[in-house]
Amino acid sequence: MGVLVRKIDGYVMRTVGGAMFLVMMVVLSLDLIFAFIAELDDIRNNYQILDALWYVFLTLPRRIYDYLPLGAFMGCLVGLGSMASSSELTVVRAAGVSLKRIVWSAMKPALVIVVMGVLIGEYLAPPAERVAQSYKAVALGAGSNVASASGVWHKEGDSYIHLNAVQPNGVLHGVSRFQFDDDRQLLAASFAERAIYQGDHWLLENVRTTSFEDDRTVRVDDRTLRWETGLSPGVLSVLIVKPENLSMTGLYTYATYLGEQSLNASRYWLAFWKKALMPLGTAVMVLVAISFIFGPLRSVTMGFRVFTGLLVGLLFKYMQDFLGPMSLVYGFNPMLAVLVPIAVSAVAGGILMRRAG
């Protein structure tokens, strides 16, 4: 009996794991095709077709991380759904395998996906995303554009800073700085083609500074200029990437830095909690998928299961996307915005599993 149960465990794991892999391949293939088509609109200067392909390739880890929860959820629906359609689950139950055992067997591939997601989200996706963004910005001419549409803005004291590109090796391209007085009047504006980190300060290169003095302006050109700022390469490497594409450690570091500057860090705390609770959310969504198979979707067609899975997955995503901005606007804890949809899904999955049992 023990050998039979182990064989059934292995079969369920292979079926569900294979379905998860298949769903990921289909979703990623479509996403990469559409991403490359979108990049064709940005082709200019030194950014050509091969560069667009390289950029899309560099963003692949981030895309894998984004779709892992969906892949786990949909793969579980498809894998267990195919077993239900062929009456294999009925045979398994008739062989004396408990519902809890089947649930645990289906959960094991999801746990592998959770571990993969944590590793990719912490160690692979963030550096690859930084390289991709800086590579594209430099190819588009980041060093020759004043405050281009790409890049990031940052406020430090009475100064506003715009960086066109941040390279991982401590090199900045296109540094624009705007200094204001207490009455919000512009005192000076400067642009540097490049900046290199010197350990405790930045060395600006080819700097053009315009100062506004009463009714006249004064322009000064400097070959090099020392720039003292609290922005280190570590902090700047966080700045150039969208919060949702950063690692948890990067998010925590930068959110703490913003707090020290008396700036609002809610957006970064929201992204932090989304990543921290992603393993729990993935496990809960897999539980919901399993409860559907043993509950309301036991005897429907595969197409209807996929359609229902998409609806439920989108509903879960939209709940988080709705509550997230609400937490930023109304000021409640961002963790609640992430945790509430997970809790609602866990309760719904638990109720359905209890009825199925």
DSSP 108-152: HHHHHHHHHHHHIIIIIHHHHHHHHHHHHHHHTTGGGSSS-SSSE
Indicate if 181 and 318 belong to the same structural domain. Answer: no
Distance CA 165, CA 144 (A): 11
Indicate if 124 and 165 belong to the same structural domain. Answer: no
Q: Is the pLDDT of residue 228 over 60?
A: yes
Strand partners, 196: 171, 203
Q: Is the pLDDT of residue 143 over 70?
A: no
Indicate if 325 and 291 belong to the same structural domain. Answer: yes
Residue 86: Cβ-neighbour burial (10 angstroms; 0-12, 13-18, 19+): exposed
Q: DSSP label at 228?
A: -
Indicate if 124 and 215 belong to the same structural domain. Answer: no
Q: Is the pLDDT of residue 1 over 60?
A: no
CA geometry: angle at 19 spanning 121 and 116, to 5°?
A: 20
Among 188, 222, 239, residue at a domain's last position: 239
Indicate if 22 and 113 belong to the same structural domain. Answer: yes
Q: Does some domain include residue 251? A: no
Q: Does some domain include residue 175? A: yes
Indicate if 60 and 131 belong to the same structural domain. Answer: yes
Q: Is the pLDDT of residue 53 over 90?
A: yes
186-197 sheet: strands from edge to edge: 152-156, 159-167, 171-180, 186-197, 202-213, 216-227
Domain that holds residue 221: 152-239
Contact predicate 57/39, CB 8 Å:
no
Indicate if 75 and 118 belong to the same structural domain. Answer: yes
Strand partners, 172: 166, 195
Q: At residue 142, what are phi and psi to the nearest 5 degrees? A: -65, -30
Indicate if 135 and 276 belong to the same structural domain. Answer: yes
How big is the chain, counted in residues? 357
- pLDDT at residue 154, rounded to an integer: 82
Query: Tokens standing for 97?
Result: 């395998």
Q: Does some domain include residue 112? A: yes
Distance CA 51, CA 275 (A): 30
Query: Tokens standing for 10?
Result: 């292995």
Given pLDDT bands bounded at 50, 70 and 90, which one contains residue 149? Answer: low
Q: Does some domain include residue 44? A: yes
| Section 311-318 average pLDDT | 80
Distance CA 319, CA 306 (A): 20
Q: How many distinct structural domains can be found in the chain?
A: 2
Q: Does some domain include residue 328? A: yes
Q: Does some domain include residue 159? A: yes
Indicate if 106 and 168 belong to the same structural domain. Answer: no
Contact predicate 323/337, CB 8 Å:
yes
Q: Does some domain include residue 193? A: yes
Indicate if 126 and 14 belong to the same structural domain. Answer: yes
Indicate if 121 and 60 belong to the same structural domain. Answer: yes
| Section 301-311 average pLDDT | 72
Contact predicate 105/141, CB 8 Å:
no
Query: Tokens standing for 24?
Result: 């990921």
Distance CA 150, CA 162 (A): 10
Q: Does some domain include residue 249? A: no
- Within 10 angstroms of residue 33's Cβ, the number of other Cβ atoms is 11
Mean pLDDT for all residues in the chain: 85
Among 218, 239, 260, residue at a domain's last position: 239
- pLDDT at residue 356, rounded to an integer: 65
- Within 10 angstroms of residue 214's Cβ, the number of other Cβ atoms is 5
**Cβ-based neighbours of 213, under 8 Å, separated by 6 or more:** none
Q: Tens of pLDDT along 80-132? A: 888 888 888 878 887 777 888 888 888 899 889 889 988 998 899 988 988 88
Indicate if 13 and 116 belong to the same structural domain. Answer: yes
Give the CA distances from residue 329 to residues 152, 266, 270, 332, 334, in Å, rounded to whole numbers and listed in that order: 22, 10, 12, 8, 11
